[in-house]
Structure 1
C-alpha cells in the first residue's frame, strides 16, 4: 500500500460535522479535551452536528500539519493497561492565527454558537485586579491596529496578537451582521475564568467602541469552567507508535491519560453540544471546583515542576516517586484541603486519584513543559493557598515552599538561565536586584510581598534549596 493511502485523511465515509464552534489556541490539550468531548457528545456519530474550526497560536505549523490531514488526528489514551487509539473527526478546519479574515467570517456566522479558548493564563493580559492591562505592549499594539477596523471589520487581514483583540474584531462583525448571541468559554487554568475573560474582552472593546462593549454585555455570555486532562507533548516515539498500531501515518497525534474532567457554570444563548452525554458536569457554583483543580492538581504540578527539576527529575512520574517531593506535595495538599470544605468536592478521593494519575508510567509529562509561565501560574496556585493560610492564622509553610521552589529555580546558577515566561523581562529584572526573593514575591502578589514574616519564610526556604 502506498504512503499516500496510509496517510490519515478524510474520505467520503468520514463524518464531517458542520462548523458550529470556534477555538483559539490549537494545541494538544484542546484536541484531547474540548474536541474529544464534542465528538463523544454526538447522539449519532455517523451524522455529527458539531464541528470545530480551531486557530493556532503564533505559529502556522499545526494548522499546516493538520490541514494536510483534513483536521483528522489520532488520540492515544495511555494507561498502565495499554494504549487505545481513536481517530478524532470533530476538528473540521485547523486554521492559522494570522488568518483574521477567516476568523471574522466565522464569528459573524449565526451558525457559530460557542467560542472556546486555551491561550494560557498569560494570554488574557490582565492586571492583578482582574481588569484588562491596557499598558501591555501587545494590547496597545492590537488596539492601535483595530482602531478603525472595528467599524468595518470585513476584509481586515492584518495579524493580531491578543485573544481579546481577535474576539473583539470578530464580535464587531457579528454585531454588524446581526448574527445573534454567542458564548465565549475560557478553558484555561484561571480561577473565575468566565468573569476574567469577560473583563478582558469587554475592557478591550471599551477601548475602541463603547457601543460595541454594550452590545457584548447584552449578547455574549461568558461561562466559567474547570478543566482537567494531562496531555504531554507529542514526540517522534508517539508518531512511530501510532503508525505501528494503526497502519496509518499521522503527523499530529495526541497522547493523553484516561481521566478527563470538564465542569461548567453558565448559559449558552445560541445552543451547545450535549456535552453532558460525554460526562461534562454543569453546576450552579463552580468556584469550589476551580479551587480544587487549581490548588491540588495545578498547584502540585508547579511545585514538582521547580522542586522536582532542582532535584534532577524530568517528569511528573519521576518527581512523585521521590519521597521528599511527594512529602512536599502532600503538605501542600493538606494546607489547600483546609479551605476546600464542600462535601461534593470529595477531596480525599480526588487526592488519591491524582497520585494514581501522577504515577501513570505510560504518561511522560515533562516538568520543563509545566514550568513555563510560572510567573503567572504561581500567583494563581501557591499564592492563594498561602494567603488563605495566613488569613486563618497559620504560616502557609507548604505554599511558601512551593513559591520558594519557583524562586530558587529562577536563581539557579547565579540567575544566568533564560526564563521561559511571557513575563521574562520583568522577572529577570526582579532577580537581578539586591533582594531578589522579595522582588520576585512582589511580581506574584504585592500584598504578600508586604508581609515581612511571609517573605522571610519564603527566603529561608530559598536559602535551603540553594545550599
Structure 2
C-alpha cells in the first residue's frame, strides 16, 4: 500500500498505484460525502463479495467530492482515529464518483440491469419534508421538479433528491430493468417508509402509472446508521500522506466504532454486508430509537448547551461537568421503555467514551445545524413519553431551552427552517412559538413550557463550565 522510499513529493493516490481495480457498478449512491465513505462504502469494501459490488456515487449540492475522487479513480483513505493512534485503509468500493447534476449518468446507472441497490445520505432537509414528515409538494424546488418531470421525464433535470431519484426510477421503468431496493441511510425514524411515501406521492403528481410501478417493483429498506465522522481538515490530509505515502485529496477521518442495522427486502440482491458487521433484522424500530435518542439526542443537547457554554467540540462539551450531567439526565429519560436486549446502559457508557475521544474534532456548530428537523425526532418524542407518564421531562428541558436561548439571540447554526425560526423567536411568546415548530402537543403543555422559559433564561449567556444548568 505504501510506496517505498521517502519521496520529497508524495505520489497521487490512484488505482494503478495500489493495484486496486474498480469493481463493477451494482450500487448507486446519492449524497457522496464523508459519512457515506466512512459507512456504506466502507462496509461494501469489507464485504465478503466486495469484488462484485462497485458504487456509482453522486454528489448532492456541490460537485467537489466527485471532482476530487474522480482524479483518484474513486479511491480514498479512511483513517480510524482512536484515543491514541490512527489506522489507515484505502477503500476501493467507489468505482465512479459523479456530479449529482449529471442526470444523464444518473439515469443510466439507475436503469442499468446490473444495478440492484440505490442508497442515500442526503440528510433531513434533502427530502423537502413538511413538519408532519410528508413531502412538501408546495416547496418551490419540489414543484419545479414536478413540472419538469411531468413535461418530459426523459430529459428533465430535477434539482431535489426525491426528484432525481424519481427520474432515475422512471428511466429504470422505461428500460424494463426489473426490481430494485432503495436504502436511505439518514437519521430519520422509519426512513425506508418515509422515502417510500415521498416517492409514491411525488410519482402520483407526475404519472400515476409510475407510482403503481414503484409500488409493485421497488423495495424500500429502513436503516439505522452510526459512526461519528467529522469534517476533514488539511491536517488530516497531511496525516494521510504520512500514514500511506500517497497524496489523497479526499480522505475521511472517523471513529473506530461503527454500526449498521437494516430491515427490508432486496429483490435484486445486495452485498454480504453482514460479513462486514452489519445486522439484518426484522424490526428496526428499537435500534432506530436507541440511536436517535441516545446518540443523536445527546449530540443535539451538547451542541446547543455546549455553544452557550463556550465550547467548540463534542469532546470539550462532554468534559464540562454541567454538560455531562445534562446528558446523563436526558439519557435516563430516553432509556425508559427500551427493551433490555438493546443494552441501552452499556450503549450510553460506550457513547461517553466515544464523545470524550479528544482526537475526533466533532464540531458543535456542525451538529447543531437543522435543529428543527433533528430535535423533532431526537428529543421531543422523549419529552412526550415522559409527560404522558406524568413525569416532568426535566432532562428534555435542557436541550430545548438551550436551542430556544440560541434562537432568541440569533446564534443558531444554519437551518433550512431559519425563516420560521426567526419569526418564532420574535413572537410575543418566543418559547411557545419555537416549541410549536417542533411539536404542537408540547407547545400546548403549559407547565413544560414554563420550565423551558425558566431554563432558557438561566442559560442566557456564556457561563462557567463548572455550573450545572439545572
- Into which bin does the TM-score normalised by the smaller protein fall? over 0.9
Of the candidates 436, 443, 454, which is equivalent to residue 449 of structure 1? Answer: 443
Q: Give the aligned partner of residue 426 of structure 2.
A: 432
Decide whether the 8 Å contact of 2:38 with 2:254 is kept in 1.
Answer: yes
- Aligned partners of 2:9 and 2:48: how far apart in 1? 30
| 1:31-50 pair list within 5 angstroms | 31-43=37-49, 48-50=51-53
1:55 equivalent in structure 2:
58
Structure 1 residue 276 displacement after superposition: 0.4
Deviation digits for residues 352-407 of structure 1, max 9, x if unmatched?
11011111122111111101111110011111110111111112111121111111
1:4: Cα distance to partner? Answer: 8.4
After superposition, the Cα gap between the structure-2 partners of 1:99 and 1:428, relative to the gap in structure 1 and judged at 3 Å, is: same
Partner of 1:397: 394
Give the 3-state SS of the residue equivalent to 1:455 in structure 2: helix
Q: Report if aligned partners of 1:23, 1:55 keep a CA contact under 8 Å in 2.
A: yes
1:75 aligns with 2:81: no
Counterparts in 2 of 1:279 and 1:327: CA distance versus 1, 3 Å = same
Pick from 359, 382, 387 the counterpart of residue 385 of structure 1.
Answer: 382
Match of 1:121 among 119, 124, 128: 124
Pick from 186, 189, 213 the counterpart of residue 188 of structure 1.
Answer: 186
Q: Which residue of 2 aligns with 1:256?
A: 254
Q: Does 1:354 pair with 2:355?
A: no
1:245 deviates by 2.1
* Alpha-carbon shift at residue 200 of structure 1 (Å): 1.0
The normalised TM-score by structure 2 is 0.94
Partner of 2:142: 139
Map 1:289-368 → 2, pairs under 5 A: 289-340=287-338, 342-368=339-365
Out of 139-148 and 30-39, give the one that drifted further.
139-148
Q: Does the CA contact (< 8 Å) of 2:10 and 2:241 recur in 1?
A: no
Aligned-pair CA distance for 1:157: 5.9
TM-score with structure 1 setting the length: 0.95
Query: Which structure 2 residues correspond to residues 155-166 of structure 1 after superposition, within 5 A?
Result: 156=155, 158=157, 160-166=158-164
Q: In the TM superposition, what are the counterparts of 1:90-101 in structure 2 within 5 Å? A: 90-101=93-104
Aligned residues: 455
Distance in 2 (alpha carbons) for counterparts of 1:391 and 1:141 = 42
Q: Which residue of 2 aligns with 1:217?
A: 215
1:22 to 23, 28, 32: 28
Q: SS of the counterpart of 2:265? A: coil
Match of 2:231 in 1: 233
- Paired residue secondary structure (1:339): coil
Distance 2:311 2:117 in 1: 40
> Aligned partners of 1:332 and 1:42: how far apart in 2?
40
Secondary structure in 2 aligned to 1:466? coil
SS class of match (1:147) = helix
Distance, in Å, in 1 between the alignment partners of 2:65 and 2:187 is 22
Q: Is the 8 A contact 2:15 2:72 kept in 1?
A: yes
Is the 8 Å Cα contact of residues 410 and 419 (structure 1) preserved in structure 2? no
Q: CA deviation at 1:348?
A: 1.1
Q: In the alignment, what sits opposite 1:408? A: 405
The offset of 1:127, in angstroms, is: 2.5
- 1:267 aligned to 262, 265, 268, which one? 265
Long gaps (5+) in structure 1: none
SS at match of 1:267: coil
Are the aligned partners of 1:99 and 1:157 in contact in 2 as well (CA < 8 Å)? no
Alpha carbons 2:425, 2:433 under 8 Å: kept: yes
Q: CA deviation at 1:16?
A: 1.3
Deviations 1:104-158 (A, max 9, x none): 11111111101011111122222233322112222112112212233xx2xx263
